[in-house]
Amino acid sequence: MKSLGNLKYFLGIEVARSAQGILLSQRKYMLDLLAKVGLLDCKPADTPIMQNHRLGEFPNQKPTDKDRYQRLVSKLIYLSHTRPDIAYVVSMVSRFMHSPNNQHMEAVMRIIRYLKGFPAKGLLFSKNGTLNVEGYTDANWVGGASDRKSTSDYFIFVGGNLVT
């Protein structure tokens, strides 16, 4: 075995160390995605999805390229590992992988334009002297507008850093 030094890049995730802690980001992966879809010079979106969005399957909507949609959503799922701010909207657009339409593709493109505004944003695991474990949970009973499903989630912090 041979020491290769500190980890800097692994599976599309960049690792930057500083006095504050360790930052994980996918800047290069995201910039490659922007170049691939031709949005490198676009104006960034302020939010990843429109307020009070109504994504769903409705009659008379034009279908979009299913393979392209699935590839883009798959890339967004991978990006959400270091960008929890897009986790909700990525879960919304991934519900329509089986039959996407133009409205769904527009939502995906908005997420990508949102990411352009913050290319180096990621997860900071900060140094602090404590290893307290804190957990939070939330539930939304029958809150899904399109399918009326209940959702719940939880967050676990170790030493003030999000781990799950």
Task: Locate all alpha helices (DSSP H) within the chain, ordered by sequence.
Answer: 27-37, 66-79, 87-93, 102-116
Domain that holds residue 27: 9-127
Distance, in Å, from the CA atom of 68 to the CA atom of 38, rounded to the nearest integer, reads 13
Do residue 64 and residue 140 come from a single domain?
A: no
pLDDT for the residue 72: 95
pLDDT for the residue 147: 66
Amino acid at 20: Q
Query: Residue 38 domain-assigned?
Result: yes
Query: Residue 136 domain-assigned?
Result: yes
Do residue 61 and residue 139 come from a single domain?
A: no
CA 1 to chain centre: 35
pLDDT for the residue 128: 80
pTM for the model stands at 0.78
Q: Mean pLDDT, the chain, as a whole number?
A: 87
Do residue 121 and residue 138 come from a single domain?
A: no
For 107-133, the pLDDT digits (tens) are: 999 999 999 988 888 988 888 878 889
pLDDT interval class at 144 (50, 70, 90): low
pLDDT interval class at 148 (50, 70, 90): low
Do residue 121 and residue 140 come from a single domain?
A: no
For 37-83, the pLDDT digits (tens) are: 999 888 989 988 888 777 777 778 888 899 999 999 999 999 999 99
Helix pair angle (66-79, 102-116), 10° resolution: 30
pLDDT interval class at 25 (50, 70, 90): very high
Average pLDDT for 151-160: 83
Distance, in Å, from the CA atom of 158 to the CA atom of 110, rounded to the nearest integer, reads 33
Number of domain units in the chain: 2
